[in-house]
Amino acid sequence: MTYFDFDAEFTKFLHAWLEENQDKYDHIEQIERLMPDLYERFINSPADYLKGQTPRQYFESIPDVPRLLEMMKGYLMSDVPLPDLLPLQISSFGLQAETPLCEMLLNPNAPMEARMLCVNLLQDIGSTRLMGTYIAWQQTRQEDDELADYTLESLEEMGEAALPFMLEALEEANDTGREALLSVLSRYPGTPGVYEHLIRLFDTRPDRQAAIAAYLGRLGDERALPVLMERALDDHVRYLDYIELRSAIEALGGEAPERDFESDPDYDALMGTD
């Protein structure tokens, strides 16, 4: 299969247009405002390298999602940039694309970038089929896990439909997964059990106290105030963590204690002191 470099072709199209119209515009800002329109002209202009088809027609002529996905995978494994039109054409199939997207996402041998794109495309078409799988991946996730990060964003996009299943998953999740799930659940004040799980994690993961404090502030449960105040007064708290603690305290209507961090290297670096 030939993988056409549509980015390079657009650059050629743009250079030709600029040469033809260089006397009509005085400022680069004028050109920048025209870029969406120029790109639209490009994708609707017949091209010799596509045997007279426009770039839009080229992708629209591919009749099914599996073939488009194979093309997407091929682009990602080549040195040619993935054309914007390709994932857009996949998502245009709506829920008809759901099954092949799920199959590629669940294939451990597929390129990771392709799997992550499948997560985004499933989100674009409004699919919730893999909600349970996404939650299970959170339960056993590691700190650095790009695929789990992408699926967490999708769980957040699924909204309240995912809440009961995420709550149920908290007990069996490792600490990293529990924090990930709670980062979404904290967006729903009043959800039973979320406060208790966050406070427990706040005590057991001092290395993550800044992030968890932010979730507590977002949750809006004032019961967290004394816990946050006590931690903000701890002599072992670093300046950068204190900033998040202070923000959470203020978000809950409290007033953070004043602290002196002049001996903290992070404070020195931020303030420009010696």
CATH of the domain at 208: 1.25.10
pLDDT score of 89? 98
**pTM recorded for the entire structure:** 0.88
| Residue 260: inside a domain | yes
| Residue 266: inside a domain | yes
| Residue 259: inside a domain | yes
| Residue 242: inside a domain | yes
DSSP 74-121: HHHHSSSPPPTHHHHHHHTTGGGGHHHHHHHHT-TTS-HHHHHHHHHH
| Residue 217: inside a domain | yes
pLDDT category of residue 28 using cuts at 50, 70 and 90: confident
pLDDT score of 263? 79
Read off the DSSP letter of residue 45: S
| Residue 211: inside a domain | yes
Q: Which domain holds residue 233?
A: 191-274
* Residue spans of alpha helices (H) in the chain: 6-21, 28-43, 55-60, 65-77, 85-91, 98-105, 112-124, 131-139, 146-158, 163-169, 175-185, 194-204, 209-219, 225-232, 239-251, 265-271
Using alpha carbons, select from 136, 100, 131 the residue that is nearest to residue 118: 100
| Residue 244: inside a domain | yes
As given in the structure block, the two tokens for residue 260 are 């002196």
| Tally of domains within the chain | 1
**pLDDT tens figures, 138-150:** 999 998 999 999 9
Give percent above pLDDT 70 in the chain.
99
| Residue 175: inside a domain | no
